[in-house]
């Protein structure tokens, strides 16, 4: 655990980063719930978000990113909307640009599953996007058509394209029984539109000046492993990395239900039409490119995975709650109540430096050798990590 003050934390970040680093803030899984007792689950999230935002400005962060689950999503829609609005206002309190990924709690289907299964208290992806970006997506963002919360934008000074994914991009529709077809609290997946957008637009770097020098950084709420058709996105990513062709289909989809890292996934009856998508991509002319990493939250743990041929990094929840014995101890009113990060992407040294305020530890990870698949033994990892899994 880091026991330094926020001022000391910011000094440490500034002393260990330079102008060549892309520095941004990352916080995840705040699970805000409006309560009088701030010691309750998610009740003190706004304080964490304001401290995080202020620290981001002091550290010189380029932007702030929330990796999902702004709200706990188990309250009536009016309360969830208010919680999301208050959370986004806290994120923007320092004036820095704020980016958001939709989490599996954010669309309020958690409440619908247990209280109003017809979906009357649910938020569509587009509605959620309008709520967190009331003035529209960040300038320069290119969005997937008709898909909320999937977009990219470019950072020319670092030659990095940021790609934000929507991991709960399933139809918000009711079945014959009048209940929602899927409850995204448990059911996750990519639509064909999103896969095509990534394959044909987001990963097309060919029109950029010095296109061969550009890389992609992926941000979202959860690992591809939690989606039955996450393998389709993985197939597209590998073709991008190797400069080859690919075609996604049934082979990229897991049977439902399934489990990933001990978590039960996709308990709803699965409609193949919503999961099996044939998408072709051809990166042979563009040539090989680097996918720096995929950063996310959701698991409430620090976890590094390398089995897909690129770094996948889950980061500890800011929520003051110890979800598992593998997670650090959390105690209200102490520095380990919160957990949030400043992330520096250092392309010259080919490493990701993650500075942690609160519970957990700092972390430095080397980029994987381009377009390779490594074993656990081939990637040096610090003892500070709570959990290591190769998936």
Phi, psi of 73 (to 5 degrees): 70, 25
pLDDT along the chain (391 residues), means of 10: 84 96 98 91 94 98 98 96 98 97 98 91 96 95 95 97 98 91 97 98 95 97 98 98 98 96 93 98 97 98 95 97 92 94 97 97 92 39 36 31
CA distance 139 to 125: 20
CA distance 383 to 118: 47
CA distance 317 to 310: 22
Q: What is the pTM of this model?
A: 0.94
CA distance 199 to 275: 16
pLDDT of the residue at 1: 56
pLDDT of the residue at 86: 98
| Domains detected in the chain | 6-388 (3.60.21.10)
Detail the DSSP E strand segments found in the chain: 22-27, 64-66, 98-100, 142-143, 151-155, 160-164, 215-219, 245-247, 258-260, 263-265, 280-282, 290-296, 303-305, 311-314, 339-346, 351-358, 363-366, 387-388
pLDDT of the residue at 260: 94
Q: Show Cβ contacts of residue 47 under 8 Å, excluding neighbours closer than 6 positions.
A: 38
CA distance 218 to 239: 15
pLDDT of the residue at 383: 37
pLDDT of the residue at 116: 81
pLDDT of the residue at 117: 83
21, HSE (Cβ side, Cα atoms, 13 Å): 23
Q: At what angle do helices 125-132 and 77-91 cross, to 10 degrees?
A: 40
| Beta carbons within 10 angstroms of residue 391's beta carbon | 13
């Amino acid at each position: 655990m880091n026991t330094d003050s926020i001022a000391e934390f910011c000094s440490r970040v500034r002393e260990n980063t330079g102008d060549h680093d892309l520095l941004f803030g990352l916080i995840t899984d705040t699970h805000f719930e409006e309560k009088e007792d701030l010691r309750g689950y998610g009740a003190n999230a706004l304080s964490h978000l304001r401290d995080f935002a202020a620290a981001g400005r002091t550290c010189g962060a380029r932007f702030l990113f929330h990796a999902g689950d702004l709200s706990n999503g188990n309250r009536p829609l009016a309360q969830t909307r208010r919680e999301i609005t208050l959370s986004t206002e806290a994120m923007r309190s320092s004036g820095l640009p704020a980016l958001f990924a939709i989490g599996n709690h954010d669309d309020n289907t958690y409440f619908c599953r247990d209280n109003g299964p017809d979906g009357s208290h649910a938020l569509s992806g587009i509605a959620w996007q309008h709520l967190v970006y009331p003035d529209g997506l960040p300038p320069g963002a290119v969005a997937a058509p008709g898909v909320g919360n999937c977009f990219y934008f470019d950072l020319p000074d670092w030659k990095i394209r940021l790609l934000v994914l929507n991991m709960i991009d399933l139809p918000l529709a009711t079945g014959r029984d009048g209940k929602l077809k899927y409850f995204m609290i448990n059911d996750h997946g990519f639509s064909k539109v999103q896969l095509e957008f990534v394959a044909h637009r987001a990963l097309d770097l060919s029109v950029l000046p010095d296109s061969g020098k550009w890389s992609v950084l992926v941000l979202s709420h959860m690992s591809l492993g939690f989606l039955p058709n996450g393998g389709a996105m993985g197939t597209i990513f590998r073709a991008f990395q190797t400069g080859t062709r690919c075609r996604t289909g049934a082979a990229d989809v897991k049977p439902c239900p399934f489990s990933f890292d001990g978590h039960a996934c996709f308990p709803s009856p699965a409609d193949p039409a919503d999961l099996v998508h044939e998408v072709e991509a051809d990166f042979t002319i563009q040539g090989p490119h680097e996918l720096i990493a995929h950063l996310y939250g959701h698991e409430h743990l620090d976890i590094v995975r390398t089995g897909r041929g690129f770094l996948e990094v889950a980061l500890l929840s800011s929520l003051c709650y110890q979800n598992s014995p593998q997670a650090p101890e959390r105690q209200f009113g102490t520095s380990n109540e919160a957990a949030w990060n400043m992330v520096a992407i250092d392309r010259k040294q080919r490493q990701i430096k993650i500075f942690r305020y609160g519970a957990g530890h700092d972390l430095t990870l080397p980029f994987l050798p381009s377009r390779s698949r490594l074993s656990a033994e081939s990637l040096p990892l610090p003892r500070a990590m709570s959990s290591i899994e190769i998936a």
